[in-house]
Amino acid sequence: MATDRNGLQTRIERMCMERGLKMTGQRRVIARVLSEAHDHPDVEELYRRAAALDGRISVATVYRTVRLLEENGILERRDFGGGRARYEATEEGDHYHLIDVESGQVVEFTHAAHAELLRQITASLGFELVSHRLELFARKLPDVAQEQTDHTVQTEQKGGSRP
Amino acid sequence: MATDRNGLQTRIERMCMERGLKMTGQRRVIARVLSEAHDHPDVEELYRRAAALDGRISVATVYRTVRLLEENGILERRDFGGGRARYEATEEGDHYHLIDVESGQVVEFTHAAHAELLRQITASLGFELVSHRLELFARKLPDVAQEQTDHTVQTEQKGGSRP
DNA sequence: ATATATGCAAACCCTTTGCGAAATT
DNA sequence: AATTTCGCAAAGGGTTTGCATATAT
């Protein structure tokens, strides 16, 4: 039964097997990279990390795997501007992204009321909300002590982009 | 002084001249096409419409012009999914887009409170909002009589796409 | 007259794909 | 053993660009 070289299954590998996906060595490595990623890597970066673990992986396979996982609801594709798609594991809690226009840093935040608000707007237009996209492009303010709100803050160091 | 064949300046042509942009024949045609467009055409569509008016226009010029106008705040680039950028003239009133996932139809709506809400969220994260992106992907509901809200509704027939 | 814009076609970038070889169930 | 996946390199689709020519100011 598929386990990695440490005898441990990553969360994403488990999800793959639950869906009956064939687990090849490459997929296991990519699954591990994704499970350990706490940022929003693009394909090239995933490839770099995967290749560092295994070497026998091609970019084509990363593209194919990423697509497969997205189709299976395991991964989510994001577009933060900049031409390339970026990926993150599907999480339970909906969250949004703020992109620092200067550094490219991505900050995740939640806003529980938002989804409901969008659902209402959609309904008032005679539609049923299927999905939505919300990205904030912002610039860091001089560091004034901030009050803590209900927003979850999570910081990430990553490449630049423009709206 | 630059006028089109009818002796009339389009709104966008006027904006170009205000910004001191050199007005070539091609730009005038593209400006006219954009001024008359009430939808969100992609470059290929703009090219088609421009070529219908003039013929001596290349796609490269449309790309260059569209980029120039965007850099000058005259045009706004949109991404409704589907790989190609789509454009619309910069308007005073901020509005958002709902894309019908089945027909590709784009519905514009306004939501005054939204921008302010996003500004607050951004501030609470220690940032200053520069710009934002919000798109709703939705499916048309069976036609129940809808109450009219403050949302401005404007309908458009246009090519498909997927979130 | 000078600087800028255009057309054309080649180049680019990210992503997808055809094919024979390799690996999984 | 049958089927799916992989690696490679070539192809695709949207967008950009180098260069010689044409055009606006």
pLDDT tens per residue, range B111-145: 988 989 999 999 999 999 999 999 999 999 987 66
pLDDT-derived band at B43 (thresholds 50, 70, 90) equals: very high
> What is the Cα A127 distance to its own chain's centre?
27
Asked whether the predicted pLDDT for residue A89 surpasses 90, the reply is: yes
- Which of A131, A135, A139, A155 has the most B C-beta neighbours within 10 Å, making it the best mutation to test the interface with B? A131
DSSP three-state, residue B99:
strand
Give all strands of the β-sheet with B127-140 in edge-to-edge order: A106-109, A96-100, A127-140, B127-140, B96-100, B106-109, B154-156
Q: What is the mean pLDDT of residues A95-114?
A: 92
pLDDT-derived band at B73 (thresholds 50, 70, 90) equals: very high
pLDDT-derived band at A108 (thresholds 50, 70, 90) equals: very high
pLDDT attached to residue A94: 85
Are A113 and A134 contacting, i.e. CB atoms less than 8 angstroms apart? no
* Domains parsed from chain B with CATH numbers: 11-88 (1.10.10.10), 92-156 (3.30.1490.190)
> Which residues from B are below 8 Å from A when comparing CB atoms?
79, 98, 100-101, 107, 109, 111, 118, 121-141, 143-144, 146-147, 149, 151, 153, 163
Calpha distance A99→A76 (Å, rounded): 17
Neighbours of A13 (CB within 10 A): 24
What is the nearest CA distance from B138 to chain A, expressed in angstroms? 4
For the whole model, what pTM was predicted? 0.82
Residues 64-123 of chain B within 7 A of strand D, judged by CB, are: 64, 67, 83-85
Going by the DSSP 8-state scheme, the letter that residue A43 receives in this structure is H
Q: Give strand pairing partners of A136.
A: A98, B132
Nearest CA in chain A to B149: A124
> What is the Cα B121 distance to its own chain's centre?
26
Asked whether the predicted pLDDT for residue A154 surpasses 60, the reply is: no
Rg (CA), chain B: 18
pLDDT attached to residue B89: 94
pLDDT-derived band at B47 (thresholds 50, 70, 90) equals: very high
pLDDT-derived band at A79 (thresholds 50, 70, 90) equals: very high
What is the nearest CA distance from A150 to chain B, expressed in angstroms? 9
Residue whose structure tokens are 């709206």: A163
The mean pLDDT value of chain A amounts to 86
pLDDT attached to residue A163: 41
pLDDT-derived band at A6 (thresholds 50, 70, 90) equals: low
Q: Give strand pairing partners of A42.
A: A86
Is the backbone of residue B10 left (phi > 0), alpha (psi -120 to 50) or beta? beta
Closest CA to A97 of B133, B135, B79, B136: B133
pLDDT attached to residue A92: 77
Q: Number of C-alpha atoms within 13 angstroms, CB side, residue A97?
A: 24
| Tokens at B148, concatenated | 């009219």
Neighbours of A62 (CB within 10 A): 25
pLDDT-derived band at B1 (thresholds 50, 70, 90) equals: very low
Asked whether the predicted pLDDT for residue B154 surpasses 90, the reply is: no
Asked whether the predicted pLDDT for residue B158 surpasses 50, the reply is: no
Calpha distance B48→B55 (Å, rounded): 9
Asked whether the predicted pLDDT for residue B101 surpasses 70, the reply is: yes
Are B6 and B35 contacting, i.e. CB atoms less than 8 angstroms apart? no
Residue of A163 and A149 predicted with greater confidence: A149
Residue whose structure tokens are 């509704």: B153
pLDDT attached to residue A162: 38
Taking the CA of residue A55 and the C1' sugar atom of nucleotide C18, their distance in angstroms comes to 24
Amino acid identity, position B10: T
pLDDT-derived band at B147 (thresholds 50, 70, 90) equals: low
pLDDT attached to residue A91: 85
Residues of B in contact with A123 (CB under 8 A): 141
pLDDT tens per residue, range B60-71: 999 999 999 999
Residue whose structure tokens are 């002084």: B1
pLDDT attached to residue B5: 47
